[in-house]
Structure formats: structure tokens, C-alpha cells
Amino acid sequence: MAAPASAAPAGLVRPEERLIAALTRLILDPAQPPARHVAVGAASPMPAAACWLARLLGHPIRMSLLHRREGNPFTEGSRELFDLTGQGRIDLFFLGGGQIDGAANLNLVGTGPWPGTGVRFPGSFGSAFMYMMTPRTILFREEHSPRVLVERVEHVSAPGTSAAGVFRRGHAQALVTGRCVFGFDPARARFTLLSTHPGESADGIRGETGFGFDAPDAVPETPDPTAAELALLRGPVAAELLGTYPEFCARVWGTAAAAA
């Protein structure tokens, strides 16, 4: 992930804006198959913002924002999303998990004895199907701690890799957290540290991560958004998100942006 040409001063960039820019660069990564149609689930303001930023930067991405009536073409609910995905017509999806392990397995069920009677997570819903049938998945979890990034998830609700002979279209491309960006190698079922956010280090990341991962000798810093990207985020992107995520817009961009 190359740094953008002209980054805005770090002191002016909010952490959420940096995460959105990192997600956008992953969406537009030229080494990956093109993201022509991206689907974004509910409760995902930063992935949704990243998709809007990519579009406003001039990339012809079709978005299905499942939480937004005017941005959701599916009139019969999620079963239409699953049908489209099964046909191979969704290129990229975002997933998170109550737990994520070093093999990119996700746990959306809970902790403790089956069926997760310790701590209950929101539930798997269609995550296993989307993970298997979508060519590219970007994992996103803002919290980066050993309780979330674990050595092995307690329940596998969506597998990061599959046995030989099991059909699946794709795997995790990357994992973005509030501390860093990891890339994922499905052949090795292992993450590699791609960049650390300002103020973080590879050693510090290891101390806050429950699974092992690879890292180069010199780990680059996650690039800030450019001045042009910041202007888009604080203007038209904030305006697009306002109706669906008013609390996020008010918290990140303040009342002036939220009123735009």
C-alpha cells in the first residue's frame, strides 16, 4: 500500500478519517481484482464512508448499502444479496467479528460453551456464505486487543480458509484495526503487518494481539488521507452519511459537518 502523494498534517487528521482512507486504499488496491460492486452491511459507517470516498475520487463503484433505503436495491431483503453473491456479482464485502484469529476465522456467535452462553455476539447470519462466495473480503474491527484478536476463536461462524476441494471464491484481503493494517495470505493462513498507525509500533502491536503474525524489519506508518481526500470526507461524504449515521457524523466531523 503506497503512501498518497500529499498527506495532510497528522495533527489535523482524526483517527476515523485515517481508517476510512486505509479502507479506501484497500478497496482500490490495483493488485486486487477490481471492486465493481461492493456491499456494505449495517452498523458500518467507516466502510460505507470508504466506498463513498472511492466513488467521489472518480472510481465507478456500484454500492449496495444495506442499511439505507435509497442505497439498497434489494426489495426482498438480504436473500437477494445472497442470491447476487451466489451468482458471483458482488466483488467485495466487509466483515468483522466478536473474535478474529490468526487464520482469519471469525466468531460472531459468542464465548463459552456452545451456543456461546458466556458473552453473546450479534450472530452469524449470512457471514459464512458471504465470506465463502465473495472474491474479496476486508475485515474491519476498530478495537485491537487480545480479547478480540485471539489465537483461536471459540466458535467458527465464518472460516478464514477451507480444505482442499471445498469451493470458495475468495478469502480475507486484509484486516484493518484501530492500531494497524494487516494483509492476509490464504495459502499460509497467516497475517502480515502492512502498516502501523501513528504512535504504534510492531512490538506494541504484538503485545496487543493474541495471534502470531509476520512483519518486515521496517514497518511503514499508515498514510494519512491527502488534503483532497480530507475535503471530500468532511464535505460530500459526511453529507451522504448524515441521514444514516448522524451520531457518527456529529462525533467525527462535528455539528457543522453534520448539518451539511
Q: How far apart are CA 73 and CA 87, in angstroms?
A: 16
- What tens digit of pLDDT does each residue of 125-159 get? 889 999 999 999 999 999 999 999 999 999 999 99
Within a domain: 117: yes
Within a domain: 246: no
Within a domain: 84: yes
Within a domain: 1: no
- Domain count for the chain: 1
Q: How far apart are CA 55 and CA 174, in angstroms?
A: 20
Q: Is residue 50 classed as helix, strand or coil in its secondary structure? A: helix
For position 77, what pLDDT does the model report? 62
What mean pLDDT is predicted for residues 173-181? 98
Within a domain: 227: no
Q: How far apart are CA 245 and CA 242, in angstroms?
A: 5
- What tens digit of pLDDT does each residue of 160-173 get? 999 999 999 999 99
Give me 59's grid cell: 472510481
For position 66, what pLDDT does the model report? 72
Ranking 5-9, 67-71, 94-98 by mean pLDDT, the lowest is 5-9
Within a domain: 38: yes
- The residue whose grid cell reads 442499511 is 67
For position 118, what pLDDT does the model report? 86
Residue 255 has pLDDT above 80, yes or no: no
Q: Are 118 and 111 in contact (CB under 8 A)?
A: yes
Q: Are 151 and 211 in contact (CB under 8 A)?
A: yes
Query: In which domain, by residue range, is 63 found?
Result: 15-221
For position 174, what pLDDT does the model report? 98
* Helix locations, the chain, DSSP H: 15-27, 45-56, 78-86, 127-133, 202-207, 227-232, 238-242, 246-258
CATH of the domain at 105: 3.40.1080.10
Amino acid at 87: Q
Within a domain: 154: yes
Confidence label for 43 from pLDDT (cuts 50, 70 and 90): confident
Phi, psi of 85, rounded to the nearest 5 degrees: -65, -40
Confidence label for 247 from pLDDT (cuts 50, 70 and 90): very high
Please provide the average confidence, as pLDDT, over all residues in the chain. Answer: 90
Give me 252's grid cell: 467525527
Phi, psi of 161, rounded to the nearest 5 degrees: -135, 165
Strand bridging mode 99-101 / 106-107: antiparallel
Confidence label for 83 from pLDDT (cuts 50, 70 and 90): confident
Within a domain: 226: no
